[in-house]
Structures are given as structure tokens and as C-alpha cells.
Amino acid sequence: MDLHYMTAHAIHKLLVAREVSAAEVAEAVLARLEAVEPVVRSFVTTTPELTRAAASRADEAIARGERITPLAGIPMALKDNMCTKGVRTTCSSRMLENFIPPYDATVVVRLAEQGSGLIGKLNMDEFAMGSSTENSRFFNTKNPWDLERVPGGSSGGAVAAVAAGQAVFALGSDTGGSIRQPASFCGVVGLKPTYGLVSRYGLVAFASSLDQIGPVTRDVTDCALVLNAIAGHDPMDSTSAGYQPPDYRECLVPDIKGLRIGIPREYFGQGLDPDVERVVREAIGLMEELGAVVDEVSLPHTEYALPAYYIVAPAEASSNLARYDGVGYGFRVEGATDVVSMYMKTRSEGFGQEVKRRIMLGTYALSSGYYDAYYLKALKVRTLIRGDFDQAFKKFDLLASPTSPTVSFKFGERADNPLAMYLSDLCTIPVNMAGIPAISIPCGFSQGLPVGLQLMGKPFGEETILRAAYAYEQATPWHRRRPSLEVQQ
């Protein structure tokens, strides 16, 4: 029994039945982490003591005959842009390499209340800017399915850890596809919730109007369980929605008869790998066989989503990252002769190339004389994109597309071509621009590598997304596939 590869809900059943202890689960996952970390490299920081402490509390509760929560004693990990009190939070940047927050993010508090055990903090593209995790200032995380390929990004460490059995589940953040695209590349489930459903308090901001925290799990049931734990209003977050989320487990029924699914023709155009298209269309065909009503739909402003995103997101990043100046906390260059040179040298040495590129793009777009031409125009385009989705959802319950136009690519393949890298998020960015929810689920393989199916829903339509994803998952074997990692354990 490979405990490290089991789902949270399966482990919970074993714990309740006393067929296994939480301590045994913790040790199995920690042993797996130790065995595969030298080759996968998912973690920036590990916290085995916190994992063991949570397991001990769960076992003690079970021994007392208490009812435990579905996530009690479950080893989990966090993308390293979520604040953890007393545990280093680096954003995989030299700028925050030794930063230890004095408080926990709301999602961290909520998972702690559930009794989950933090196993560590996960590698990412620096400040969540990237699509391959190659922009980490520390090291490259590998795709467990092929160690010569990227895991995707920016939540590459999160998806690699779950795919490799180093954590039962993880939390990532999604600004333009940073949960869903790597989930597609590594064959796991990744959900980007509706903007405002999950608190952003304690998430180190990249683009405040786009960022959203979400679950990375092995199956849809675990996704619903984790979403139950982290969703809901937070008075500490001014962008948190005043919405009372339901119990998402209740929507997990394998029945989608009559569900109306739209296929956006713009997501099946130029740049889409033919074999990825084949796999995704086969998945949509199966959903039709399961009783869904499928038809084509147009989202006419899709072509403008990518350029609009790369105005809005860098502009917000330019503002958010202005706080990293070497004065209050974080990295400060030594030997500066005055304050101005200290600012300049600190930011020049503290930030990596991609972060500096986006700061400059954003600063330019917000500068005098260019604000109306770029930023304001991008906001108007964003409104049109949201209008496309609103119109489509008058006829359809869900929209379906590839998560990524291609499977995972090799390290260095797109490093010198930022535009090619940006195109990795072609199918995911419009979702963030519109603020709607979307999930990526495994739907097959191309060239021996996982392919993801993206399901997009109405605002706060997570129930419908999870229901459809669950029905598809129950009819297919893809979520049970595991990568073959040749390691000594």
C-alpha cells in the first residue's frame, strides 16, 4: 500500500477505521519526499516537525474517540508565496530569501484548523511570474513524468510534489493559469476558484485583481474537500466575496445528463498541438456520451486576452513590488554609497530577469502619457472578455477547452523566447481576466506526457465544474496514473 500516493479521502477512511495511523502516513510521505526530492526538487523549505506534530494530534483525537475532519493528519504543502508564521516565505526570490513572516495567511490558518500537517514550502517561478518554474532564483523543479521537461508554472513545485507523491495535496496560486497549466503538464487536478471565493490575505501579491489561491490534488474528491476548507468570506481581505459556499462534496455525483457544454472555437485554433486537440476532443466526446449536450460557441475577444493581460498584470506587479526596496525587510545590497544607489542595486540584484522585465513593462504602461493608451485600454478589453463569457453562459452551463496548447516542453526550449513562453497560458488567461472559476483534470496522454482538460464555469459555479469533472473522472482511468520515478526508497 503506497500511502504517499493515496488520496486524502482514502487516507481519511483508513484513519477512521484505525487501519493505519496518521504517524504512519506522515512517515510514508516524508520518506517519499526524501527519496525523490534530489531528482524532482519541489521544495524550497521542508517542515517535517510540523507534519509529525499534526499527525500526533490526529492520532490522539482518534484514540479519544473523537470525530476528525477529512483533512486531519493529512500531509500537505504550500506554494512559497503564502505567508507562514515562523517559516521562511521566499517567493523563490533572492529578494525574500531569508524572510520569515510574523503571521499566517488565512488559508494556512484554515488548513491548520482542519488539522492538516504542513510538510513544506514549494518552489515556483519568482514572484509567480512564469510558466515553467525556470524563473526560480534557486533551482529548477523537474516534471516527474520526464525529468528533462518543465513541470509548468508558476506553481511548478506544487504540482510536481503532488504528482511525485511528496505531498497528498498542495495549494498554489493562479494569476493567469499558474495552477491549471502545471496541473495539466503533471497529470493532476488543479482548480482556480472564482475571484474572491478564497481569501488572498497573506498571499504575496503579484497582480491583485487576478491572483487567486486554489487546490492541487490527485482527484476531484480531494479538490472538493480542500476547497471546503479554504473557501469563504474573510474580513481581512477587502476583495473577499460575501458569499456563503456550499458543501462541495455534495455535488460529486457521476451524472451530467442534460448539462450544456460549450466549446469555444477560439481555443482550438493556431498554436494548438494536433495530438493535444485529439485527446481533448475525445474527452469532450466522452462527456457527450455521458449525457452532456455539446455545441460550439464563440468568445470573439479571446485574441486580445493575452496582450491585455500582459498590460494589466505587469502594471499591478510594478505597483505591488515597489515595496521591495531594501529598507524595511528582505534583501539589501551591501556597500551602497547613498539611498538611491542602495535602491537601484538592491532591486537590480534582488530581482531576476523575468521579474525586472515585467516591472519595466508595467511601469511603462502606467507612466504619464501612456496610461490611457495601454492600461486603460487593457481594462476596457478585460470588460469585453468578461462580456463574452457572460453571453456564453446564457446558453451553456460550462465551457470546455484544452488547458494548455501543448504538453510539457524541455528545459531551455523557450527560455530565450518570452513570447513563446507567454503563449503557454493562451487558454487559461481569459479565465483570470473574467474572474470566473476553472479546473484542469487529466484527460489522456500525448507523447507519453499528460494532457489536461479545462472546464470553465459561471462566477461561483464551482459546484457545476466539480460535478462535471467528477463524472468524467469516474468514467476514465487517467487520475489513477502515476509517473515512474526510478529512485531508491
Range with the poorest average pLDDT among 80-84, 245-249, 424-428: 424-428
Dist CA 322 CA 328 (whole Å): 12
The percent of residues in the chain predicted with pLDDT above 90, rounded, is 93
388 within domain boundaries: no
171 within domain boundaries: yes
**CA 120 and chain centroid, separation:** 16
| Total domains in the fold of the chain | 1
The whole-number pLDDT of residue 489 equals: 47
35 within domain boundaries: yes
126 within domain boundaries: yes
Query: Is pLDDT at 436 greater than 70 in this prediction?
Result: yes
Element (H, E) at 82: none
Query: Is pLDDT at 423 greater than 80 in this prediction?
Result: no
14 within domain boundaries: yes
Pairing of the two strands 189-192 and 117-122: unpaired
CATH number at residue 102: 3.90.1300.10
Query: Is pLDDT at 424 greater than 80 in this prediction?
Result: no
413 within domain boundaries: no
Taking the CA atoms of 178, 183, 184 and 189 in sequence, report the sign of the dihedral they define: negative
Q: How many CA atoms lie within 13 A of 234 on its CB side?
A: 22
pTM (whole model) above 0.85? yes
Q: Active-site positions? A: 79, 154, 178
The whole-number pLDDT of residue 418 equals: 75
378 within domain boundaries: no
What angle (nearest 5°) sits at the alpha carbon of residue 307, between those of residues 464 and 182?
50
With CA atoms as reference, report the closest residue to 186 among 164, 215, 205: 164
Query: Domain of 14?
Result: 3-253+446-451
Please compute the mean of the pLDDT values over residues 3-21 and round it to a whole number.
98
pLDDT tens figures, 45-98 = 999 999 999 999 999 999 999 999 999 999 999 999 999 999 999 999 999 999
Dist CA 475 CA 236 (whole Å): 41
CA distances from 34 to 46, 138, 142 (A): 10, 18, 15
100 within domain boundaries: yes
Name the amino acid, one letter, at 414. Answer: R
pLDDT tens figures, 108-121 = 999 999 999 999 99
Pairing of the two strands 117-122 and 75-79: parallel
pLDDT tens figures, 258-300 = 999 999 999 998 889 999 999 999 999 999 999 999 999 999 9
pLDDT tens figures, 295-342 = 999 999 999 999 999 999 999 999 999 999 999 889 999 988 899 999
Range with the poorest average pLDDT among 217-231, 336-350, 409-423, 474-488: 409-423
Q: Check: CB of residue 126 under 8 Å from CB of residue 355.
A: yes
Dist CA 399 CA 393 (whole Å): 8
**CA 473 and chain centroid, separation:** 19
